[in-house]
Every structure is written in C-alpha cells, then in structure tokens.
Amino acid sequence: MEALVIKNTGSWYVVRTDDGAEIDCKIKGNFRLKGIRSTNPIAVGDRVKITLNDSGTAFITEIVPRKNYIIRRASNLSKESHILASNLDQALLIVTLAHPTTSLTFIDRFLATAEAYRVPAIIVINKVDLLTEPEDAELLEAVRYLYESIGYTVVTTSAKHGDGIESLRRLLEGKTTLISGNSGVGKTTLINDLIPGLDLRTAAISEVHDTGTHTTTFSEMFQLPGEQGGYLIDTPGVRGFGTIEMDEYEASHFFPEIFKIGADCRFNNCTHTHEPHCAVLKALDEGLISQSRYGSYLSILEDSNPDKYRKPY
C-alpha cells in the first residue's frame, strides 16, 4: 500500500493513504537512503510503501522515487544532511527586516540551496507593518529590488494585519510548498492566515535577544482550502543554513547573476576569487553584482572546505 508522509516527529511518521486514513508508522529495520547521509532518511512529502500491523500502525518499507527534495547541513560539525521536505513545487522563504532581522547571507544560502535542488523559490518579506521609519522603507525597497532584479518573486506581507495574504494565497494554489525561515519571522501566523481554523500555536519574540522561539518542533504538511487545493509543509525555524554537496567549481551555478556573468571569464573553472580576467570580479568592481551576494557566495565556498567541518580531536 502506498501513502503520503504528512508528519515527522522524529521517532514516528504519520502517513495519509489515498482513501484519507492517517496511520502512525515506524521505519522497518535499518532503513537508509543510498548515497545520502541524512539524519532523517524519510521526509514529509515522500510517498512511501507501508505494511500494516495488527495494532493499527504500520512499517514503512520503501520510498517511492522522489521528484526532488531540499536539504541543509545537519550541524556545524557534521557532513550529514537534514532533508527539509520532498516532492516540492516551490519553496517559500519567510524573512523579516526587523524584529528579528533576517541576514542577507541566510537568504542567499537558502536560495542557492533551492537552486541546487531545482526547487523554485519565493521570498516573503513579513512584518512590514513594523517598518515605520523612512529608512525602513528604503531598506525594504532595496532588498526587494536586489532579489527581483535577479529574477526572484518577492511578496510583502503583514501576517498580523492580513496584508498581502491574498496575493500569497494565489501563488500557493494547487502546489506543494515548503515554508522555511528563521524562528520568529511569523511562519506560523502566516500559515494560520492561509488556513483559517488551523490555529497553530505561536510564541512571542524575546525582547532581550530579538529572536523567536521554536513553536514548530517537527515538520508537518497541511492542506490548503479552496478548489485549487495544494499543500503547505511547515518546518521548524532555523538559525543558520549550512550548505552541503557544493564544491568550489559549481557553487557559482546557484547564483544566477554570478553564473550568467561568469560565462565571460577566461577560465572555465574560474572560482571568481583571484583568477586573472575574471568577469565576475570585474562586474563586482563596477557594481553590477551585489557585494552582499558575492559575500554569501564566498561563505558557501568556505563550506566546501573539507577541513571546516572536521571534528576536533
């Protein structure tokens, strides 16, 4: 029997069968994915084969081949990955420019990972109601321009007041969408706005550290209302986004503007860091590539250093 994984609590999985039944499952035996060193071999969004038990639970025995998936590095001292979700149509990155502030490096690392796994990404700038000063409006416009000029869709919302929710809803209709972002950016409030009656628990921002707390502790899939349907996959908030499986010669492929300009470099294997006649370094000097985006690119090159994640003796 086949089923869809809709929740992962760490020790148990909840699957939904084609007739709508929800069943608690565990992995049968020593289940590992070939070629992927992952902390969670099965992810929300997977279609799996299950074998029912007399107790009403089931064992997951096999994963149906995935259309795609998106992962991040599991920890700073690990080469293992954590699969955020699978079989996605798109990813929604929720960010805030105040209370808390999402770093541009975090945004870029997420976008590069989405590019690497061929998952279209949308940026949602939430809590725009908190941007009340003139300089706040300038920052919002600068961030929006930066990413729209590269080719990304940027939506502004105020989950607290409901602004931008209908525009966002139209982008989600009929699609399976991963939702990610730092803790405290309002992911849960947005989901509650998009799915009336769901009433997921939210938490206040720490006034001392201006950061959020983890109200979502495991990944879960929710069905969107309406004729078009669709699914949202909520994931726990993350503070950093470690990249994995990118080497120094391919990292630039996942920054569309760097990849495009890099086609004019003298050397095919140019890393855009020191090589002569590098078109990317020239464009950087001329202001055609953002300093923040280039800095994020360099941070991913640092991730590819095999010594960075080597455990100390």
Instruction: Tell me the pLDDT tens digit for each residue of 224-254.
Output: 998 888 999 998 877 666 676 677 889 999 9
Average pLDDT over residues 261-276: 95
* Both tokens assigned to 206: 């720490």
Determine the Cα–Cα distance for residues 182 and 235; give it in Å rounded to an integer.
10
Instruction: Tell me the pLDDT tens digit for each residue of 16-38.
Output: 999 999 999 998 766 655 555 67
What DSSP line would sit under 120-170, residue for residue?
-EEEEEE-GGG--SHHHHHHHHHHHHHHHHHT-EEEE-BTTTTBTHHHHHH
Q: What are the angstrom distances between the C-alpha of 23 and each of 45, 85, 269?
A: 15, 19, 50
**Do the domains 69-234 and 251-303 sit in the same CATH topology, yes or no?**
no
Nearest Cα neighbor of 110 from 169, 182, 48 is 182
CATH dotted code for 69-234:
3.40.50.300
Q: Domain 251-303 belongs to what architecture?
A: Orthogonal Bundle (1.10)
2-63: CATH, from 2.40.50.140, 3.40.190.10, 3.40.50.11540, 1.20.810.10:
2.40.50.140
Model confidence band, residue 210 (pLDDT cutoffs 50, 70, 90): very low
Model confidence band, residue 309 (pLDDT cutoffs 50, 70, 90): very low
**pLDDT value at residue 213:** 43
Determine the Cα–Cα distance for residues 55 and 53; give it in Å rounded to an integer.
5
Reported pTM: 0.87
Query: Is 73:203 a contact under the CB 8 Å cutoff?
Result: no
Domain ranges of the chain: 2-63, 69-234, 251-303
**pLDDT value at residue 313:** 34
207's CB contacts (< 8 A; 6+ apart) are: none
What's the alpha-carbon Rg for the chain, to the nearest Å?
A: 21
What DSSP line would sit under 158-200, residue for residue?
BTTTTBTHHHHHHHHTTSEEEEEE-TTSSHHHHHHHHSTT---
The pLDDT > 90 percentage for the chain reads: 66
Determine the Cα–Cα distance for residues 234 and 183; give it in Å rounded to an integer.
12
Please say if the pLDDT value at position 256 is more than 90.
yes
Number of other CB atoms surrounding residue 216 within 10 Å: 19
**pLDDT value at residue 38:** 72
Which carries the bigger pLDDT value, residue 73 or residue 202? 73
**pLDDT value at residue 273:** 96
Query: Is 82:40 a contact under the CB 8 Å cutoff?
Result: yes
Determine the Cα–Cα distance for residues 14 and 24; give it in Å rounded to an integer.
5
Query: Is 196:167 a contact under the CB 8 Å cutoff?
Result: no
